Amino acid sequence: MGVRKLTSFNCPFYAQWELLLYSVTVTMSTMTWHSLAASSVALREWKRPIVITALLLGAFAIVDASLFLQTPFVSSEVRFADASPGGFLIVPASCPSSPSNSDYPHNTCSATCPNGLNINQYPSCTCPGGQVQSGSQCVCPSGQTWNGSQCIATSGGCTAQYFCASGASCTGSGDTLCYRNAACSASVIFNPCQFGCSGGACNGAPAPVIDITVNPSLIRRGETTHVIWNASFVSSCTVTEDNSSVSDAWSCSTQSSCAASHDNLSSALSERTTYVLSCTGLNGSQVTDSAILNIIPIFQET
């Protein structure tokens, strides 16, 4: 009886020695209990085994009744119904509270996809974006890859992508930006990338570099000077001055024209003048530089 009861617990943690110990405990408990009762009556009144049996039955009945009359445990959930703002009665449940399927498996309260898909991953139980079912998962059919929202063709074994190559043939490595589609057909996007190609994209323009000088920077009143200016990685430049008596101004408006070295002769100057070079870089930034021309002072003895 003890063994049958034990196996009905379906507990995997009982080792053989526990089974044996349990059997011994039950047997000894039973025998000790009955032996004590027997020793008090039967050993003295051994001719009356019916009395012994009756006494034992009585003891069992008392224990039995006490077990039978135990009050059921009424938890906080059993009679709980909460009132909504409108006075209706809401009844919460607690199905997923049991851990590790030790009591009722909590997944009995969750839906499962009839087709075996993982419903937590695919709540609609259908594969999205052209995917097909493979076990509990969805995958793209052979020859296609998942681009994040749908399966796209990878016929020819190619994945659509931009890459850096050399020349119009889009082979090897170089500064040409190319694009290869899923059908493995490549085409030139930029040839070459002006500032090189890396990581499947043209590199951005470097920061502009500009310089302006006046030569000579010290003249006598009424003389002229050379205004020399250079600019790299710029799309346009202007040179202006702050002398109200002259109107010197030069400019360039293309990357190539600005990249050349400029040497402009100033007007005749009679006072200190500042020349300012202002450029817009290919990367969109604004930069300025300046050069100052000074006039040799005239000293008069008094």
Q: By CB under 8 A, is residue 299 in contact with other proteins?
A: no
SS3 labels along the chain: CHHHHHHHCCCCCCCHHHHHHHHHHHHHHHHHHHHHHHHHHCCCCCCCHHHHHHHHHHHHHHHHHHHHCCCCCCCCCCCCCEECCCCCEECCCCHHHCHHHCCCCHHHHCCCCCCCCCCCCCCCCCCCCCCEEECCEEECCCCEEECCCCEEECHHHCCCEEEEEECCCCEEEEEEEEEECCCCCEEEEECCCCCCEECCEECCCCCCEEEEEEECCEECCCECCEEEEEEECEEEEEEEECCCCCCCCEEECCHHHHHCCEEEECCCECCCEEEEEEEEECCCCEEEEEEEEEECCCCCCC
Question: Tokens 């002259």 correspond to what residue?
Answer: 246
Please pick, from the candidates 91, 260, 265, 298, the single residue that binds other proteins as defined by CB under 8 A: 91
Beta carbon nearer to other proteins, 11 or 260: 11
Please pick, from the candidates 3, 7, 20, 35, the single residue that binds other proteins as defined by CB under 8 A: 35
Q: Nearest approach, Cβ of 6 to other proteins (angstroms)?
A: 8
Which one of the spans 21-29, 159-167, 181-189, 289-297 is the region binding other proteins (CB under 8 A)? 21-29
Beta carbon nearer to other proteins, 77 or 211: 77
Q: Nearest approach, Cβ of 58 to other proteins (angstroms)?
A: 11
Please pick, from the candidates 3, 7, 62, 77, the single residue that binds other proteins as defined by CB under 8 A: 77
N-term to C-term CA, the chain: 138
Q: By CB under 8 A, is residue 69 in contact with other proteins?
A: no
Q: Nearest approach, Cβ of 140 to other proteins (angstroms)?
A: 23
Beta carbon nearer to other proteins, 99 or 199: 99
Please pick, from the candidates 46, 155, 161, 172, the single residue that binds other proteins as defined by CB under 8 A: 46
Please pick, from the candidates 3, 7, 16, 57, the single residue that binds other proteins as defined by CB under 8 A: 57
Q: By CB under 8 A, is residue 38 in contact with other proteins?
A: yes
Please pick, from the candidates 7, 40, 97, 253, the single residue that binds other proteins as defined by CB under 8 A: 97
Distance of CA 63 to the CA centre of its chain: 63
Question: Tokens 């309260």 correspond to what residue?
Answer: 109
User: What is the Cα–Cα distance from 4 to 23, expressed in whole angstroms?
Assistant: 11
Q: By CB under 8 A, is residue 134 in contact with other proteins?
A: no
Q: How many CA atoms lie within 13 A of 112 on its CB side?
A: 8
Q: By CB under 8 A, is residue 16 in contact with other proteins?
A: no
Which one of the spans 69-77, 163-171, 177-185, 261-269 is the region binding other proteins (CB under 8 A)? 69-77
Number of residues that bind other proteins (CB under 8 A): 70
Which one of the spans 87-95, 127-135, 180-188, 274-282 is the region binding other proteins (CB under 8 A)? 87-95
Beta carbon nearer to other proteins, 102 or 244: 102
Beta carbon nearer to other proteins, 29 or 257: 29
Q: By CB under 8 A, is residue 103 in contact with other proteins?
A: yes
